Structures are given as structure tokens and as C-alpha cells.
């Protein structure tokens, strides 16, 4: 663990780009494109009132560009100047935003801490013991073809909000990547004489993805050190890198958030409370069934309490890749659990959200318990302990369940 974690005041970028609450979306989009940013703090009378994001604009692409910024504001967490690195990373990951404002008690904006700022300051000790991208990469469950029309991306907004999607040729080889910012090249055209530029005929949705993707995509081979992947992201000013196999096909992806998750786990090593476990849930943004999310919260909280009998949970990553609707459709789920005894992995498919989550937590529990028993057997010669019943006497943790609910539904009340 670092001798001292840096604070938001030390990490933030000062004098961030801002706009007034009455500024039109055209002004905001122009700044986002020219400055290569995804979010802009919005001020009213010099005080911070909210954040305007590229994602929020993309979701309302039909709005006129004269729409005022104040109508599309989101209210992400604000960071006090004294907040420490691990908690900042947790706030960014839980809210799904790329940068959070640092605000003083008077509501004045002091600066912004972005995921890139955190990556630059990532302590070397965080990467120690986790050596390659293979240990934290997430499998790629969705690829786009070069010839797919842009309209297919509009149906994948939720995935685009989390990371760029790989674009492949007819042979499945990686040729580029497309992110939500790339949509801006086609969804919003310059305004000329009060009308949108009509120089390009046809619907924007009919344009092929290869015309807006960025190429080449930044890649690393299997076995690449995590520190090198971090350097590539910073050097290329990107949020993720693709891991490719010998055949040139994309196999997995490593995101900035995966690296920041290591920092969260690292910061949790010296804490004792189960409620300090951070749970990152991706793929469920925009899910419309709160009842399912609540049941998933409970299944995860229960599973972590059971795991805590054998190892200290530090960080849990859950990624959902639904294939149909959010209640009963098939879904692929990947889980990665960081503990004080190592990292454990599990995946499942073909189940609904709740049963899949329950199966994964059971699988992780079995792996952790086996490692615990293997570690004890040579030293004490004890027989493996009996299985755990569902009625274990481990107290419920309401704070943890609240953290889980915020992770799966950022709009949920505290």
C-alpha cells in the first residue's frame, strides 16, 4: 500500500472547460469534439449545477442543437478536495462517468478528477502481484462488422457507454474500434443557414460503421504486463486496449476501470468491514426492472458474506451481457473476485439474471473455500469443513446492500 494516497485536490485538473447552463447543445458538442472530452461541468452564476455528458446527448439525439444544456444535466457525485484516491476511484466506477467535479463547501468548482488523472497517479505497488492483462481482461461478447449500419450502434448505447466496441472485417480480424464519441461524426451535422447540412443524402443510420470508426485499434498481445497496458492507454489517450490472439482476432478488453478497480481493492486491504467491499456491475445500465436488480443485490450480498468466512473480499466485478430482455432472457455473466488470498474467476450462460448471479456466487464460494482448505490442510491436518448452509450466522450488512444498489442502479436513492 502507498505511504499516502493522494487527495482530490492533488489529483484534479484545474481550470476545467465549462459552459453556462443556458448554452446550446451545439456549443457543448463543439467543445467536446475540439477538446476530445466526454463531459463538461455546467455552471449557473459561477457555481456548479451539474454535468453534461456525451452519453446523455446521444440518448436524446433527436433534440435540436439549440436545446439548452440545463435540460440534459446529470448529477453525479461531487468530490470534496480532501477525498482520497481509492474512494475517488470508487465514485467514478459506481457512477459510470469519466470525470467527477471537485467542489468546495460554497459550491464553487475547483477542478475535475478524471479516470486518466487517476491512471497517471496509479501507484506502482497496486500493479505488484498482478502481472499480465490476462488476469483482469474481460471477454469480448460483442463485435461489430465494418459493413454494419450505424443504426445498429444506437441499439448498443449501453455497451458503448462502458467501452468502445471492436470492429472486425469479414475474416473476424480487428480493423478498428467505435465508441460513443464516434457517433457524433454522423448524428450531428454542422448547422448552415439555420438548417442541418444536407450535403450527404440518405439517413445517418444507413452509413457503414467503417466510415466513422477510429483505426487502427490499440492492441496488446496475451501476456502483456498490466503496467505496459496502462502506459499504452496514457500514451494513446484512450480508455481501453484490446487483447488479441495470434490470429489477429480480438479476444478480450482491458479498460481503465479494470486498472482502477485494482486500486480500490488495494485500498481495501487494510480495512476490516465487509461493507467496504466494492462491487462493480456493468452491462445493466438502463435495465428497466428494479425488482430484478434488488434480487441481484441480495444474491451478491449474501454470497459475499459467505465468502468472508474463508477469505476477505476486496473487489467483485460482475459483467452482464444480455441476449434478450432483462427479466427472463439468456445472459452471459462473468465474475472476477479479488480477495486477500488471490483472484477468482467464474462465468455462466444460458440463465436468467438472478439464477446466473446465484450460480456464480456459489462457484466463487466453492473456489475460495477449496483454496482455504488446501492452505490449512498441510499446516494443521484438519479435515475439510462441511458445506455452508443458506442460514449461516453472519449478520446482514445494510451498507453493503446500499452500495450494491447504487452500483446496479446509479439513479437509486441512497
The percent of residues above 70 in pLDDT, for the chain, comes to 77
Written as nine digits, the cell of 411 is 439513479
User: What fold, for 8-121?
Assistant: CBS-domain (3.10.580)
Average pLDDT value for residue range 378-386: 51
Give the model confidence (pLDDT) of 280-312 as tens digits: 888 776 555 677 778 888 899 999 999 999 998
Question: How much is the mean pLDDT over the chain?
Answer: 80
148 DSSP 8-state letter: S
pLDDT digits (tens, 9 = 90+) for 400-409: 555 545 554 5
Determine the Cα–Cα distance for residues 81 and 84; give it in Å rounded to an integer.
Answer: 9
Cβ pair 229, 220 in contact under 8 A: yes
At 193, the pLDDT band (50, 70, 90 cuts) reads very low
The whole-number average pLDDT for the span 74-85 is 92
pLDDT-wise least confident of 4-18, 19-33, 126-140: 126-140
Please, which residues have CB within 8 angstroms of residue 205's CB and are 6 or more apart in sequence?
Answer: 149, 150, 151, 154
Q: Please state, in angstroms and as integers, the Cα–Cα distance from residue 108 to each residue in 103, 125, 351, following that order.
A: 6, 34, 48
- Flag whether pLDDT at 211 surpasses 80: yes
pLDDT given for residue 167 in this prediction: 94
Distance from CA of residue 227 to its chain's centroid? Answer: 19
Between 23-27, 63-67, 337-341, 409-413, the lowest mean confidence (pLDDT) is in 409-413
For position 109, what pLDDT does the model report?
Answer: 94
- What confidence score (pLDDT) does residue 391 get? 42
So what's the pLDDT on residue 221? 94
Q: What is the pLDDT of residue 399?
A: 54
Range scoring the smallest mean pLDDT among 57-66, 109-118, 195-204, 259-268 = 195-204
Measured in whole angstroms, how far is the alpha carbon of residue 260 from the centre of its chain? 10
Grid cell at residue 52: 453534461
- Is pLDDT at 197 greater than 50 in this prediction? no
CA distances from 123 to 1, 6, 185 (A): 8, 10, 37
> In this model, does residue 175 exceed pLDDT 70?
yes
Please write the tens of the pLDDT for every residue from 113-146: 999 999 999 887 776 655 789 888 888 878 899 9
In this structure, of 53-62, 71-80, 157-166, 331-340, the range with the lowest mean pLDDT score is 157-166
pLDDT higher than threshold 60 for residue 194: no
CA 169, CA 187: separation in Å to the nearest integer? 24
Mean pLDDT of 48-53: 93
Fold type of domain 131-254: CBS-domain (3.10.580)
Percent of the chain surpassing pLDDT 90: 36
Task: Return the number of other C-beta atoms located less than 10 Å from residue 359's C-beta.
Answer: 17
Q: Is the peptide bond before 360 cis (omega within 30 degrees of 0)?
A: no
3-state helix, strand, coil in the chain (%, to 5): 40, 25, 35
Do the domains 271-408 and 8-121 match in fold? no
Task: Give the integer Cα–Cα distance in Å for 37 and 309.
Answer: 44
Q: What are phi and psi of 398, to 5 degrees?
A: -65, -35
Is residue 284 within 8 Å of 159, Cβ to Cβ?
no
3-class secondary-structure state, position 89: helix
Tens digit of each residue's pLDDT (9 = 90 or more) over 98-114: 899 999 988 899 999 99
In whole angstroms, give the CA distance from residue 230 to residue 239: 10
In angstroms, the CA 185 to CA 220 distance is: 27
pLDDT at 23: 95
Give the per-residue pLDDT at 286: 55
Is the pLDDT score of 188 beyond 90?
A: no
Measured CA to CA, the distance from residue 170 to residue 186 in angstroms comes to 24
Rounded to whole angstroms, how far apart are CA atoms 219 and 1?
30
Q: Does domain 271-408 have CATH number 3.30.160.100?
A: yes
Q: Can you give the C-alpha Rg of the chain in angstroms?
A: 22
Residue 83 pLDDT grade (very low, low, confident, very high; cuts 50, 70, 90)? very high
Q: For residue 324, what pLDDT is reported? A: 45
Q: Judging by DSSP bridges, how do beta strands 219-221 and 240-244 pair with one another?
A: parallel
Residue 129, by phi and psi: left (phi above 0), alpha (psi -120 to 50) or beta?
left
Between CA 402 and CA 414 the distance in angstroms is 7
Domain chopping of the chain, boundaries = 8-121, 131-254, 271-408
Amino acid at each position: 500500500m502507498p505511504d499516502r494516497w493522494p487527495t482530490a485536490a492533488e489529483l484534479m485538473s484545474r481550470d476545467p472547460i465549462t459552459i453556462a447552463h443556458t448554452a446550446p447543445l451545439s456549443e457543448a458538442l463543439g467543445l467536446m469534439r475540439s477538446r476530445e472530452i466526454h463531459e463538461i461541468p455546467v455552471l449557473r452564476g459561477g457555481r456548479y449545477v451539474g454535468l453534461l455528458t456525451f452519453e446523455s446527448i446521444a440518448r436524446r439525439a433527436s433534440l435540436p442543437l439549440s436545446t439548452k444544456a440545463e435540460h440534459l444535466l446529470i448529477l453525479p457525485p461531487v468530490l470534496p478536495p480532501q477525498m482520497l484516491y481509492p474512494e475517488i476511484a470508487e465514485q467514478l466506477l459506481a457512477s459510470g462517468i469519466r470525470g467527477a467535479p471537485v467542489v468546495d463547501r460554497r459550491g464553487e468548482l475547483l477542478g475535475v478528477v478524471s479516470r486518466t488523472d487517476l491512471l497517471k497517479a496509479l501507484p506502482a505497488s497496486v500493479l505488484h502481484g498482478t502481472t499480465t492483462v490476462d488476469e483482469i481482461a474481460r471477454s469480448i461478447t460483442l463485435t461489430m462488422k465494418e459493413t454494419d449500419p450505424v443504426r445498429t450502434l444506437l441499439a448498443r448505447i449501453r455497451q458503448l457507454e462502458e467501452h468502445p466496441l471492436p470492429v472486425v472485417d469479414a475474416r473476424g480480424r480487428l480493423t478498428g474500434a467505435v465508441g460513443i464519441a464516434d457517433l457524433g461524426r454522423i448524428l450531428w451535422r454542422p448547422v448552415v443557414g439555420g438548417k442541418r447540412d444536407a450535403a450527404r443524402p440518405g439517413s445517418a443510420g444507413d452509413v457503414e460503421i467503417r466510415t466513422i470508426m477510429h483505426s487502427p485499434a490499440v492492441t496488446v498481445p496475451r501476456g502483456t504486463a498490466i503496467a505496459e497496458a496502462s502506459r499504452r492507454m496514457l500514451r494513446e489517450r484512450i480508455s481501453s486496449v484490446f487483447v488479441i490472439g495470434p490470429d489477429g482476432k480480438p479476444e478480450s478488453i482491458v479498460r481503465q476501470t479494470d486498472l482502477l478497480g485494482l486500486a480500490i481493492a488495494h485500498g481495501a486491504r487494510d480495512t476490516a468491514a465487509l461493507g467496504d467491499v466494492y462491487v462493480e456491475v456493468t452491462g445493466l445500465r438502463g435495465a428497466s426492472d428494479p425488482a430484478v436488480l434488488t434480487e441481484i443485490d441480495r444474491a451478491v450480498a449474501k454470497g459475499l458474506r459467505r465468502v468472508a468466512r474463508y477469505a476477505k473480499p476486496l473487489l467483485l466485478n460482475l459483467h452482464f451481457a444480455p441476449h434478450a430482455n432483462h427479466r427472463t432472457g439468456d445472459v452471459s455473466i462473468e465474475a472476477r473476485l479479488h480477495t486477500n488470498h488471490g483472484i477468482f474467476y467464474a462465468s455462466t450462460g444460458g440463465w436468467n439474471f438472478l439464477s446466473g448471479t446465484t450460480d456464480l456466487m456459489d462457484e466463487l464460494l466453492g473456489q475460495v473455500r477449496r483454496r482455504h482448505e488446501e492452505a490449512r490442510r498441510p499446516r494443521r491436518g484438519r479435515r475439510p469443513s462441511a458445506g455452508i448452509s443458506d442460514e449461516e450466522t453472519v449478520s446482514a450488512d445494510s451498507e453493503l446492500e446500499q452500495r450494491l444498489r447504487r452500483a446496479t442502479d446509479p439513479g437509486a436513492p441512497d
